[in-house]
Structure 1
Amino acid sequence: MARAARRRGRGAHGVVPLLAATGVSVTGDGAFLAAAPLLAASLTRDPLAVAAVTAAFFVPWLVIGLPAGALVDRWNRRRVMLAADLVRALVLTVAAALVVTGGVSVPALVAAVLAVGAAQCFFDSAAQATIPAVAGRDKDALAHVNGRFWALDTIGRGLLGPPLGSAAFALARALPFAIDAASFLVSAWLVRRLPHTGTAGAAREGLLSAVRAGLRHVFRTRELWVLALSLGAYNCGFNLVLATFVLYATDVLAVPAAAYGALVAAGAVGGVVAGWRARALTRRLSYRQTTALALGVQALVWLGVLAGANVWMTGVLLAVGGAGATLTSVAVGSTRQALTPDDLLGRVVAAFRLFGMGAAGLGALMGGVLARLFGLSAPFLAASSLVAAAALLAWPRRPRAQRMPASWGGGPAGRGSGRGARQGARRASATVSVVKWHGRQRRGRAPRPKRRRDSSPVTLSGADLLLVGLFSARQRRHAILMAELAEAVTALGARVVGCVVQRRGVSDGGVKAMDRPYSSRTLVSAGKAREIALAREESGADVVVFLPPLTDHQRDVLAELVGCPVISSTDLRA
């Protein structure tokens, strides 16, 4: 009990300053995003020059996003966040001084926006990669922290930041930049309160090779690339409509220009509420189910806005759509944190941001073209069709028990026998032995296994595997050990579709306790066993491979819990 309380205390000690720093930082970003175009418009009436100032904030993600993620994996993430905040504070202090002295120009403003955007690439990648280090990788914990994270992001960028930036600019042109610089100094002070998590331990390889390794992990892990495509579809569909929504609101809904901001803010309010309740809303859903439902909700929202043509109904539907957007961010963020080794997490975050922003830009361009060619209703119909199709593709299929190796004995009668099966077994690159219970069904009771067991070979060639690693918190080579296991099973013809890592035991006694199983039945706690079972179901893995050795009894119980064969790394060497 006392040990669990201490663990919760350490988590709270790390999560609170991280969320507070993120909230302050993104509020500064929102204020800056509103104030910079206003300053540009006061300097020039050239639309291209004004648009260049806004675009400069997103260009760094397209240019240096992936290298920034690779460097975040290599450096101490706490120091990266601290440096990013200090750089942004310095840049904005200089910008405020230029405004006061009258030396500001559009090129100088664009340069300042580029510098702030580049620092944001590092801060955001490091902040999201730090979440599992301070909160753990439990599904409920990740949903809770990510829900708060994205709720604060929505508050800062959508609700507080832009009004603060525009109001401060109306008082004094330099004021929003000075306030923004101060916000980043506060964020830096909060970051200093984060616990020391050390470096991610990424290998010292070339920057291009490191970027390729991150992309390779995304596209070789089924859950990640499915959710990456889902996120792209969501952003593309959302921006298909949003690009010309101001015209629809003013021309069709007759919304006054002064009230347009309040209408759009309804989506942010829905996102904040959903983010704050994300753990409760997603507790009974898998990550892919959450994403698929959010995509389906967006499709219904756009159809409802188009059919209703009523400003009040539109406000309510936008709030529902905003809730779906936040839950999508929570599901995607939690998935990549749960299925990505710590030394790859910065690169995976950057890859998702690059993919999401690219899809958003493409959607905005497509929305403008469709509205020009076919009218203001066309983007709504196109967006609904796109996200509805994505929802069907994102919804997880039934666990693929029928695709498990037939030699395990779980398939239909006659499967895994015959000449073809024997030839396939001889062609297999590797087989391992697992235990199969022979039980007798009792009326009114669950099957009770007898003591008689026999071994059946499990063919790894062509199978999809979920890897599970259990480590001491002091084990610095955990990512390397998991990578070595992945290489070993890949060499045998298998494909890694997911990864679950647990690290525990910070004190000396806790480190020694890692040599003893948490449970003689399952090796891990009941909650962790359920997390592994859920990861297996979502990834559709055929076999679960534990890095630590397993007893026959542990293998049996775990196989029954996760619904597929369970082996250990020692079985690969047997």
Structure 2
Amino acid sequence: MDARASLALWRAVRSLPQFGRLLQMRLASQFGDGLFQAALAGALLFNPDRAANALAVAGAFAVLFLPYSLLGPFAGALLDRWDRRVVLVGANLGRMLLIVGVGVLLSVGAGDLPILCGALIVNGFTRFVASGLSAALPHVVPRAQVVTMNSVATAAGAAATFLGAAFMLLPRWWIGANDTGSAAVIFMVVVPVGLALILALRFPARVLGPDDTVRAIHGSALYAVSTGWVHGFRTVSAVPSVAATLTALAAHRMVFGINTLLVLVIVRHTDIPSVEVAGLGSAAIFVVATGCGSFLATVITPAAVKRWGRFRTTNGSLICGAVIQLAGVGLHLPVMVGCGFLLGALGQVVKLCADSAMQIDVDDALRGHVFAVQDSLFWVSFIAAITLAAVVIPADGDSPGLVVAGSVIYVLGTVAHMLVGRERG
């Protein structure tokens, strides 16, 4: 049965050539993103030429992700105004050039701040691409297949991200963990990003939207961008299924932020020979395990949504997450990796339910606005949790209370989801 289902899914993907092309671009883009993020983490957190404590880790995440998280909904308005193909081409070209700049900064031994600022702009372009890909998906997939194909695209993209992160370990081990080695790995990111650029160029004009419907935001580009937050949040608040799943997603991202910091601090204070390589490898195992769990969600989500609906599927995922989170209270790294796998799967189920709600329940003329709001919430909740945890975590990471706090957050997220999403999706 599993083999037949997989074959049927493969045939369904093959029958949608534009979706296949969009999927290829997502794979190339997210492989490059995983490689870039892992190389950057190695350069700043596991580098013999540099040092970082818990607050420095939180600060790095804040510099990398918070500015665009606040500005994203303004920029997201452009996804609902300009040809999304043009946006994807421009964003991929911009980040390819900036990646070269970050590599140059590392190669000359620049300080952390200019490197982080360069990486911030790269991440902004990357997330613009991600939002554009998600907003464009309903244009290349029949409505009845949106949930299934979104699961395929999201999970395949997540797998590509973690493969990119894992691949980084090979050249890092071969070339070295210092600034020169890190710069060499950063330069490698140009290859997958360049491939994503070529794939974006192959789409016909306007095939990815946006549609000019009665709900489209008219007026100047300046007006559309300046009101991006307003229209994005107004749309979210008007659609209970979207507001509820975004609340649930924020809860999961907060827990993921706490767990990420715990693992990073514990690994840095473990007696591992050559912590710059082996220590980063241990942290990467946790991230890869989370990514493998995300891939499992591809199988779980369509069947679960078909049987229970998005509302109950999301509730069940959060409740299971609260229980699994408690299993890591002993702070044993192998157990935390196992928890990361399961929580990665459950969190991705919530993410897929949120994506489906936005792709099905939101008008295309406002879909880019809403995906930009989701992206902002995705990272603001992560950064808020990791920053608060950094304030209280001890130097060796031995803080079972933070694990318990993560379980409580899942419970609160379940309650909020139930209250907000009374109209079931």
**Length-normalised TM-score, structure 1:** 0.61
- Mark the CA change 1:388 to 1:219 in structure 2 (over 3 Å): closer, same or farther: same
Given the alignment of the two structures, is residue 188 of structure 1 paired with residue 210 of structure 2, yes or no?
A: no
TM-align CA RMSD? 3.4
Find the counterpart in structure 1 of residue 218 from structure 2: 204
Q: Give the gaps of 5 or more residues in structure 2.
A: 1-11, 176-180, 273-277
Shift of 1:91: 1.8
Given the alignment of the two structures, is residue 168 of structure 1 paired with residue 149 of structure 2, yes or no?
A: no
Given the alignment of the two structures, is residue 387 of structure 1 paired with residue 401 of structure 2, yes or no?
A: no
Find the counterpart in structure 2 of residue 405 from structure 1: none
- Mark the CA change 1:31 to 1:388 in structure 2 (over 3 Å): closer, same or farther: same
1:212-268 deviation digits (Å, cap 9, x = unpaired): 12211111222221222111112123323332244567889x9x9464532443222
Shift of 1:311: 5.5
- Mark the CA change 1:87 to 1:292 in structure 2 (over 3 Å): closer, same or farther: same
In 2, Cα distance between equivalents of 1:98 and 1:118? 18
Q: In 1, are the aligned partners of 2:263 and 2:283 still within 8 Å (CA)?
A: no
- Mark the CA change 1:117 to 1:338 in structure 2 (over 3 Å): closer, same or farther: same
Determine which of 211, 221, 224 is the counterpart of 2:242: 224
Find the counterpart in structure 1 of residue 293 from structure 2: 270
Find the counterpart in structure 1 of residue 368 from structure 2: 346
Counterpart residue type for residue 166 of structure 2: P
1:184-204 deviation digits (Å, cap 9, x = unpaired): 110112223335234333333
1:358-385 deviation digits (Å, cap 9, x = unpaired): 1111222333345459961111222212
Find the counterpart in structure 2 of residue 337 from structure 1: 359
Q: SS at 1:378's partner residue?
A: helix
Q: Answer with 286-295 or 55-64: which moved more.
A: 55-64
Find the counterpart in structure 1 of residue 3 from structure 2: none
Find the counterpart in structure 2 of residue 134 from structure 1: 140
Determine which of 296, 299, 304 is the counterpart of 2:319: 296
Q: In 2, are the aligned partners of 1:36 and 1:53 still within 8 Å (CA)?
A: no
Counterpart residue type for residue 292 of structure 1: N
Determine which of 71, 80, 99 is the counterpart of 2:87: 80
Counterpart residue type for residue 306 of structure 1: V
- Mark the CA change 1:9 to 1:370 in structure 2 (over 3 Å): closer, same or farther: closer
In 1, Cα distance between equivalents of 2:370 and 2:249? 14
In 1, Cα distance between equivalents of 2:116 and 2:391? 27
Find the counterpart in structure 2 of residue 357 from structure 1: 379
In 2, Cα distance between equivalents of 1:127 and 1:312? 35
- Mark the CA change 1:328 to 1:97 in structure 2 (over 3 Å): closer, same or farther: same
After TM superposition, the structure 1 = structure 2 runs for residues 418-567 of structure 1, keeping only pairs within 5 Å, are 538=424
Higher helix share: 2
Find the counterpart in structure 1 of residue 188 from structure 2: 179
In 2, Cα distance between equivalents of 1:215 and 1:397? 14
Q: SS at 2:208's partner residue?
A: coil
In 2, Cα distance between equivalents of 1:344 and 1:333? 14
Q: In 2, are the aligned partners of 1:129 and 1:346 still within 8 Å (CA)?
A: yes
Find the counterpart in structure 2 of residue 235 from structure 1: 253
Find the counterpart in structure 2 of residue 214 from structure 1: 232
After TM superposition, the structure 1 = structure 2 runs for residues 299-314 of structure 1, keeping only pairs within 5 Å, are 299-306=322-329, 313-314=335-336
Q: Answer with 315-324 or 25-34: which moved more.
A: 315-324
Shift of 1:77: 0.7
Determine which of 300, 324, 327 is the counterpart of 2:349: 327
Find the counterpart in structure 1 of residue 130 from structure 2: 124
Q: SS at 1:284's partner residue?
A: helix
In 1, Cα distance between equivalents of 2:407 and 2:58? 28
Q: SS at 2:203's partner residue?
A: coil
Q: In 1, are the aligned partners of 2:290 and 2:342 still within 8 Å (CA)?
A: yes
Q: SS at 2:210's partner residue?
A: coil
Find the counterpart in structure 1 of residue 156 from structure 2: 152
Q: In 2, are the aligned partners of 1:218 and 1:224 still within 8 Å (CA)?
A: yes
Q: In 2, are the aligned partners of 1:244 and 1:368 still within 8 Å (CA)?
A: no
In 2, Cα distance between equivalents of 1:384 and 1:324? 13
Find the counterpart in structure 1 of residue 73 from structure 2: 66
In 2, Cα distance between equivalents of 1:220 and 1:122? 24
Counterpart residue type for residue 112 of structure 1: G
In 2, Cα distance between equivalents of 1:51 and 1:389? 24
In 2, Cα distance between equivalents of 1:382 and 1:9? 41
Shift of 1:174: 3.6
Counterpart residue type for residue 24 of structure 1: A
- Mark the CA change 1:391 to 1:200 in structure 2 (over 3 Å): closer, same or farther: same
Shift of 1:294: 1.3
Counterpart residue type for residue 211 of structure 2: A
1:278-335 deviation digits (Å, cap 9, x = unpaired): 323432121122211111111011112227x666554433322111011111111101
Q: In 1, are the aligned partners of 2:251 and 2:413 still within 8 Å (CA)?
A: yes
- Mark the CA change 1:361 to 1:52 in structure 2 (over 3 Å): closer, same or farther: closer
Q: In 1, are the aligned partners of 2:79 and 2:132 still within 8 Å (CA)?
A: yes
Shift of 1:10: 9.4
- Mark the CA change 1:125 to 1:263 in structure 2 (over 3 Å): closer, same or farther: closer
Find the counterpart in structure 2 of residue 33 from structure 1: 37
1:532-562 deviation digits (Å, cap 9, x = unpaired): xxxxx626xxxxxxxxxxxxxxxxxxxxxxx
- Mark the CA change 1:43 to 1:358 in structure 2 (over 3 Å): closer, same or farther: same
Find the counterpart in structure 2 of residue 282 from structure 1: 305
In 2, Cα distance between equivalents of 1:261 and 1:90? 27
Q: In 2, are the aligned partners of 1:49 and 1:106 still within 8 Å (CA)?
A: no
Q: SS at 2:399's partner residue?
A: coil
Shift of 1:43: 6.0
In 1, Cα distance between equivalents of 2:267 and 2:113? 34
Count how many residue pairs are aligned between Structure 1 and Structure 2. Answer: 390
Counterpart residue type for residue 82 of structure 1: V
If asked which structure has higher relative contact order (CA below 8 Å, sep 6+), I would say 2
Q: In 2, are the aligned partners of 1:61 and 1:353 still within 8 Å (CA)?
A: no
Q: In 1, are the aligned partners of 2:99 and 2:119 still within 8 Å (CA)?
A: no
In 1, Cα distance between equivalents of 2:329 and 2:249? 23
1:462-503 deviation digits (Å, cap 9, x = unpaired): xxxxxxxxxxxxxxxxxxxxxxxxxxxxxxxxxxxxxxxxxx
Q: In 2, are the aligned partners of 1:56 and 1:110 still within 8 Å (CA)?
A: yes
Counterpart residue type for residue 160 of structure 2: G
**Length-normalised TM-score, structure 2:** 0.80
